[in-house]
Amino acid sequence: MTWNMDQAILLGCGVIVTWLTTVGMPKTRLVAFALIAFALLVPLPRFTVFDIIVATLGTLSVTTIANTVMVAMSRNHFVMPEASRAEFVSGMALLTVVGGALYASTFGFTLLDLYSFGFDERNFTLLAAPLWLFAIFKRWMWFVITIPLVAIAVRLQLLQSANWWDYVIDPVYWAVAMGKLVQQLWLGRRVATV
């Protein structure tokens, strides 16, 4: 198995998340994590399960990696504050809408190809700067931190892609965002009903 940048990022992210989320965890859960990690690396006839997962998922976006680490930190009360409900719902809604438009466009359902706009970094700045200013005004720290991280990663071209869309969103996070949004809206409706 040859390691490349994507795998290193994915593995590093996993190690950090595992470490942070297992702080204070019972030993049984730690053992379960270790077993899963081991299973992922056991070679099948030609590839490890980890290889197949990476091939299937592709490269995770900088937003996914950053937010995953931030979730782990906030849940363990480590520097990062938890997002307010308004910020969380706004973030998930934004990712859902943006991802939906991007992937619908990619499937050819629209004449406009949104992905092609992602090759010009200035387009990202034009879209992200107002959002960043709004987040600063609203004190939405997750937005305030994530947007510059993505911008720096785009500028440094840390991933294999030269398209900033691949730094902003990936299908895995899009699916998670949709699920979380539905969950939050459902919970909100239930609270309102009660």
Q: Give contact residues for other proteins (rule: CB under 8 A).
A: 1-4, 6-7, 46-47, 51-52, 54-59, 102-103, 106-111, 113, 115-116, 118-122, 125-126, 128-129, 132-133, 136-137, 151, 155, 159-163, 165-166, 169-171
CA–CA separation, 33 and 115 (whole Å): 37
Q: With b meaning 16 or more CB within 10 Å and e meaning fewer, what string describes 119-131? A: eeeeebeeebeee
- Rounded CA-CA distance 69/21 in Å is 10
Nearest distance from C-beta of residue 61 to other proteins, angstroms: 9
**Least distance (Å) between residue 14 CB and other proteins:** 16
Which residue, 66 or 151, is less far from other proteins as judged by CB?
151
User: If DSSP codes are grouped into helix, strand and coil, which group holds residue 127?
Assistant: helix
Are 95 and 165 spatial neighbours (Cβ–Cβ below 8 Å)?
no
Q: Which helix (H) or strand (E) holds 79?
A: none
Collect all residues with Cβ–Cβ distance below 8 Å to 40 and sequence separation of at least 6: 48, 49, 50, 53
Question: 102 or 177: whose CB is closer to other proteins?
Answer: 102
Minimal distance, residue 1 CB to other proteins, in Å: 7
Report the nearest approach of other proteins to the CB of residue 31 (Å): 28
Nearer of residues 4 and 183 to other proteins, judged by Cβ: 4
Which residue number, 22 or 125, has a Cβ lying nearer to other proteins?
Answer: 125
